[in-house]
C-alpha cells in the first residue's frame, strides 16, 4: 500500500524516478517531468538558466543572508538554553522556507542531472549538509520553527511567545511546514534518501498531535496556506491518512476559528466562497489544496467552490499578462474589474500559484480552457518574474512602468519568496507538457522535447519539434509505441480561436484574425475545427504506429486585445499579442516616451526576428512587433499639442527590463485619444511591498 501511494504521489508531484501512475481522485494523470526531456528551444534556455544560475544563486543567498545560521542558532539554543539569538532586524518568520524551496528545486534538477555539482562538490552532498543543519534545529518533539526556537524569551515579533500563538496571523509556522513537506518529498523522490523526509514527518506529526479539535489540542488554521497542499503530498508519499485529515481539518476550520477575515480567505467557510479575495498567494495555494483534497476525498462542495472562484478570477480579476493580485495593499486580489496597470501587484508567487490551481482544475475537468490560462500566465506574468539569465527577479510584475522609476529585477529580497519559488517552479516545467487518461494522450504545451510515457498502461514515445512560442509550426511524431489505438488530444489554444481568455474579460479587436489552424496527419490534411471535441481539444483517434507524424500550423498574426469596458484602467486602450505572448512597448526600442503613443485602432503590425541584448551583453532571440500606424503626442514650448506620425516597436512582456532603467514600459496602449497622454508617465511611488500592510 505504501509503495503504491508513493508511486502515485510521484505523478502529482511532477517529479519522480518511477513510472507515471494515477493520482487518487484526479481522473487525469500528468506525465512527470522526468519522463519529458527538454534540452533546447525557449524552455531549454530557461531550464539551463535555472540549473546553472538560479538554483546556485538561491543557495548562495541562503548562505550569505543567514538563512542557515537561523537553523544553527536554534541548534545552539537547544544545546545550551542559556544562549538566545534574537532577531536582529530585517528578517521574516518564513525565512526558513527559502532553503526548503531551493532544496525542492535542486531535487527536481537532480532527477534530470543526478551528477549536478554545487561549488565544486556533488549537489547531493551539499543538500545533505544543509539538511543536517535544518535537522539540528528540530526540537525533540518534532517542532521546527527557528524564529521561536533560537530565542524563546525574545522571539521575532511575528512569532508569538509560544508555539501556534500567532500561527493564524504572521508566525508562518504552518506555512514553513508546507514548504518543508514539498521540499522533503521532492528530495526523497530524487535521491531515495529519507534524511529530509524524516525531519518533515516529525514536524508534521507534531502539528497533527497538537493542532486540531481534540482534547489538549489547539484549534488553529494556517495564517498563510500551503500546508494543505504539502500535507496531501505527505499523505501520498506515506499512505498515512492522518496527513490528509489534517489538510482537510485546516480547510474545514477556516473561517470558524478566531481568524475571520477576507485577507486570509477566512471570512466565511471555504465551501461557501465564490470570489477570489485577499492575499493572492495564500488564496491560490488554498484553492490548489482544496482541489487536491476534493480529488482524493470526492468532496464536491470544495469543487463547486473552486469552480466558482475560478470563474470569478478569469472573468473579473485576471490580468492580460496572466497575473493575479491587483493590490499592493495586502498583496491582494482587488474588487471585480479592479486591474490597475502601473500599480498592479501581480506577485510572481501568485502567478505560480495560479498555474498550480489551473493545472489541478485541468486534471479534474479535462478542459483545454484551464491550460489556456496556464499558458497565458506561464509565458507572461510568471517568466517575467525572472531575468533571461536567471539571475534577477521581480516581486511585483506591473504592466506599466514610469520613465523615471527605479524599478528593476533584483538578485534577492529581504522577503525572498519569489526567487526561491522560481527556483522550484522552473525545473518542474516539463511536467506540465503532457497528461494521460485511459486511452487519451493530452498535448498541452508546445516545446521541443522527447517523452516516454504510458497510455492505457502501454509505453509510447512522443516527440515535438517546434520554435513555439515564436513560430506556430509544431511537429509531433510518435516513436516506438506499444499502445496502438488511442486518442491524441492536442490543445488548440484559445488565442487561435478568437478567445484570449475563457470569459468576456478580454476580446480580440481589429481585423487581424488567425487563419484556421492547419493540421496534417502523415501529410494528409484533416479538418481541425471539425475535430475539436467538447473539451476544447483537437482529438485524433486512430491506430498509431512508429513514425506517424502530426503537424500543426498555428497562424500567429499580431492581434489587438481590448478589455471589458468595466475595467476602467484599460478603457480606450489595447494590448498587443502574438501567439501566447503579450507584448509591451519599452523605452530602448522607441524614440518617444512609450506613454505618449496613440495607436490607430486599425493598426497593422509586422513581426520580425530580432535579438535582445541584455545589459550584461547576452543575446536572446525574440520576435519584435512594429507598426507605423501610430502617432506621438507632445507639447511644444507654448503648450500646444504636437502630433507626429511615428513608429512603435514592441517586445515580449517577459523580456522587459533587461536593458537598464532609463525609461518606461507600457502593456496597454491608447487607441482612443481620451486614454492618450502627451506627457510621460512619471512615478507615483509604487509604494512599499504590500506585506508591510498585512
Ligand atoms: O508570507 C510569505 C510570503 O511573503 C507571501 O506568500 C508573499 O506574498 C510575501 O508576502
Ligand atoms: Zn513571492
- The mean pLDDT of the chain is 95
- Answer whether 347 contacts ligand 1 (Cβ < 6 A): yes
Å from CA of 302 to ligand 2 middle: 26
Overall average pLDDT of the 452-467 stretch: 97
Does position 675 have pLDDT exceeding 60, yes or no? yes
List the Cα angle 680/683/688 in 5-degree steps.
160
- Ligand 1 nearest atom to the CA of residue 281, by list position: 6
Nearest residue to 181 via CA among 158, 207, 163, 155: 207
- Answer whether 286 contacts ligand 1 (Cβ < 6 A): no
Nearest residue to 383 via CA among 430, 429, 449, 328: 429
Å from CA of 439 to ligand 1 middle: 41
Does position 116 have pLDDT exceeding 50, yes or no? yes
Tell me, rounded to whole angstroms, the distance of Cα 341 from its chain centroid: 20
List the Cα angle 231/364/229 in 5-degree steps.
15
Q: Which of these ranges, 2-11, 444-453, 546-555, has the smallest mean pLDDT?
A: 2-11
Nearest residue to 360 via CA among 13, 38, 10: 13
For residue 95, which phi and psi values (nearest 5 degrees)? Answer: -60, -30
Q: Give pTM, 2 decimals.
A: 0.96
Overall average pLDDT of the 679-685 stretch: 82
Does position 8 have pLDDT exceeding 60, yes or no? no
Confidence of residue 89 (pLDDT cuts 50, 70, 90): confident
R_g (Cα) of the chain, nearest Å: 25
Å from CA of 282 to ligand 1 middle: 8
Tell me, rounded to whole angstroms, the distance of Cα 352 from its chain centroid: 2
Confidence of residue 21 (pLDDT cuts 50, 70, 90): low
Q: What are the tens digits of pLDDT across the range 195-229?
A: 999 999 999 999 999 999 999 999 999 999 999 99
For residue 284, which phi and psi values (nearest 5 degrees)? Answer: -60, -45
Does position 446 have pLDDT exceeding 60, yes or no? yes
List the Cα angle 179/180/184 in 5-degree steps.
120
Q: Which of 147, 347, 421 to mutate to test the pocket of ligand 1 (most atoms within 8 A of CB)?
A: 347
| Confidence (pLDDT) at 406 | 86
Q: What are the tens digits of pLDDT across the range 541-558?
A: 999 999 999 999 999 999
CB 72 within 8 Å of CB 116: no
411 by Cβ neighbours in 10 Å (0-12 / 13-18 / 19+) ranks as middle
Q: Is 575 helix (H, G, I), strand (E, B) or coil?
A: strand
- 178-183-185-189 Cα dihedral, nearest 10 degrees: 160
Residue that wins the pLDDT comparison between 661 and 650: 650
- Answer whether 395 contacts ligand 1 (Cβ < 6 A): no
| Confidence (pLDDT) at 90 | 79
**Bridging pattern class, strands 485-491 and 440-443:** parallel
Confidence of residue 11 (pLDDT cuts 50, 70, 90): very low
Q: Residue whose CA is closest, atom 10 of ligand 1?
A: 691
Nearest residue to 145 via CA among 63, 240, 210, 216: 210
Ligand index nearest the alpha carbon of residue 331? 1
For residue 308, which phi and psi values (nearest 5 degrees)? Answer: -70, -40
Overall average pLDDT of the 156-185 stretch: 97
CA–CA gap between residue 653 and residue 648 (Å, rounded): 15
Q: What percent of the chain has pLDDT over 70?
A: 95
Ligand index nearest the alpha carbon of residue 176? 1
Does position 631 have pLDDT exceeding 60, yes or no? yes
Nearest residue to 60 via CA among 7, 132, 120: 120
Ligand index nearest the alpha carbon of residue 222? 1
Q: What are the tens digits of pLDDT across the range 419-431?
A: 999 999 999 999 9
**What is the H or E stretch that residue 666 is in?**
strand 665-666
Å from CA of 402 to ligand 2 middle: 22
**What is the H or E stretch that residue 527 is in?**
none
Overall average pLDDT of the 32-39 stretch: 93
Amino acid at each position: 500500500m505504501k509503495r503504491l501511494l508513493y508511486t502515485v504521489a510521484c505523478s502529482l508531484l511532477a517529479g519522480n524516478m518511477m513510472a507515471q501512475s494515477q493520482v487518487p481522485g484526479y481522473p487525469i494523470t500528468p506525465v512527470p517531468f522526468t519522463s519529458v526531456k527538454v534540452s533546447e528551444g525557449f524552455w531549454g534556455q530557461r531550464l539551463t538558466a535555472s540549473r546553472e544560475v538560479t538554483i546556485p544563486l538561491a543557495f548562495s543567498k541562503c548562505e550569505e543572508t543567514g538563512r542557515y545560521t537561523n537553523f544553527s542558532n536554534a541548534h545552539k539554543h537547544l544545546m545550551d538554553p542559556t544562549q538566545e539569538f534574537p532577531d536582529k532586524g530585517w528578517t521574516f518568520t518564513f525565512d526558513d522556507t527559502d532553503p526548503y524551496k531551493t532544496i525542492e528545486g535542486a531535487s527536481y534538477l537532480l532527477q534530470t542531472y543526478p551528477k549536478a555539482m554545487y561549488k565544486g562538490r556533488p549537489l547531493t552532498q551539499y543538500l545533505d549538509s544543509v539538511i543536517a543543519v535544518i535537522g539540528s534545529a528540530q526540537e525533540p518533539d518534532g517542532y521546527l520553527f527557528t524564529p521561536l526556537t533560537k530565542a524563546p524569551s525574545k522571539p521575532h515579533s511575528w512569532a508569538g511567545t509560544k508555539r501556534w500563538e500567532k500561527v493564524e496571523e504572521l508566525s508562518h509556522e504552518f506555512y514553513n511546514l508546507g514548504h518543508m513537506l514539498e521540499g522533503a518529498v521532492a528530495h526523497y523522490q530524487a535521491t531515495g534518501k529519507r534524511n529530509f523526509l524524516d525531519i518533515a514527518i516529525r514536524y508534521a506529526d507534531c502539528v497533527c498531535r497538537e493542532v486540531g479539535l481534540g482534547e489538549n489540542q489547539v484549534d488553529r488554521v494556517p495564517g498563510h496556506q500551503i500546508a494543505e497542499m504539502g500535507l496531501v503530498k505527505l499523505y501520498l508519499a506515506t499512505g498515512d491518512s492522518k496527513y490528509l485529515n489534517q489538510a482537510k481539518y485546516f480547510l474545514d476550520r477556516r473561517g470558524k476559528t478566531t481568524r475571520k477575515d477576507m485577507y486570509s480567505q477566512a471570512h466565511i467557510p471555504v465551501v461557501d466562497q465564490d470570489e477570489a479575495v485577499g492575499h493572492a498567494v495564500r488564496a491560490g495555494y488554498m484553492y490548489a489544496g482544496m482541489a487536491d483534497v476534493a480529488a482524493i476525498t470526492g468532496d464536491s462542495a470544495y469543487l463547486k467552490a473552486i469552480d466558482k472562484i475560478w470563474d470569478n478570477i478569469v472573468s473579473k480579476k485576471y490580468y492580460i499578462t496572466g497575473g493575479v493580485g491587483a493590490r499592493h495593499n495586502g498583496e491582494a486580489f482587488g474588487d471585480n474589474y479592479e486591474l490597475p496597470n502601473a500599480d498592479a501587484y501581480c506577485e510572481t508567487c501568485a502567478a505560480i500559484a495560479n498555474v498550480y490551481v489551473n493545472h489541478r482544475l485541468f486534471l479534474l475537468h479535462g478542459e483545454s480552457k484551464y491550460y489556456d490560462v496556464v499558458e497565458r500566465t506561464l509565458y507572461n506574468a510568471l517568466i517575467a518574474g525572472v531575468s533571461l539569465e536567471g539571475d534577477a527577479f521581480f516581486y511585483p510584475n506591473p504592466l506599466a512602468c514610469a520613465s523615471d522609476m527605479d524599478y528593476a529585477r533584483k538578485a534577492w529580497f529581504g522577503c525572498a519568496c519569489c526567487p526561491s519559488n522560481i527556483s522550484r517552479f522552473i525545473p518542474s516545467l516539463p511536467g506540465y507538457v503532457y497528461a494521460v487518461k485511459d486511452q487519451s494522450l493530452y498535448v498541452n504545451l508546445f516545446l521541443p522535447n522527447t517523452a516516454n510515457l504510458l497510455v492505457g498502461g502501454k509505453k509510447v514515445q512522443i516527440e515535438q519539434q517546434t520554435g513555439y512560442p515564436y513560430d506556430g509550426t509544431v511537429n509531433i511524431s510518435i516513436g516506438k509505441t506499444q499502445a496502438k489505438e488511442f486518442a491524441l488530444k492536442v490543445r488548440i489554444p484559445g488565442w487561435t480561436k478568437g478567445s484570449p481568455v475563457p470569459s468576456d474579460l478580454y476580446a480580440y479587436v481589429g481585423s487581424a484574425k488567425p487563419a484556421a489552424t492547419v493540421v496534417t496527419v502523415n501529410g494528409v490534411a484533416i479538418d481541425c475545427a471539425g475535430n475539436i471535441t467538447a473539451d476544447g481539444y483537437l482529438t485524433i483517434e486512430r491506430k498509431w504506429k512508429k513514425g506517424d507524424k502530426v503537424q500543426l500550423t498555428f497562424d500567429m498574426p499580431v492581434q489587438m486585445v481590448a478589455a471589458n469596458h468595466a475595467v476602467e484602467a484599460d478603457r480606450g486602450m489595447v494590448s498587443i499579442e502574438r501567439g501566447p505572448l503579450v507584448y509591451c512597448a519599452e523605452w530602448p526600442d522607441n524614440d518617444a516616451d512609450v506613454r505618449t503613443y496613440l495607436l490607430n485602432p486599425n493598426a497593422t503590425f509586422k513581426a520580425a526576428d530580432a535579438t535582445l541584448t541584455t545589459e550584461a551583453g547576452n543575446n536572446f532571440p525574440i520576435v519584435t512587433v512594429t507598426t507605423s500606424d501610430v502617432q506621438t503626442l507632445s507639447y511644444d514650448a507654448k503648450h500646444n499639442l504636437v502630433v507626429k506620425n511615428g513608429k512603435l516597436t514592441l517586445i515580449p512582456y517577459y523580456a522587459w527590463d533587461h536593458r537598464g532603467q532609463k525609461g518606461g514600459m507600457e502593456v496597454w496602449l491608447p487607441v482612443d485619444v481620451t486614454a492618450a497622454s502627451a506627457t510621460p508617465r512619471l512615478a507615483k511611488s509604487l509604494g512599499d511591498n504590500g506585506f508591510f500592510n498585512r
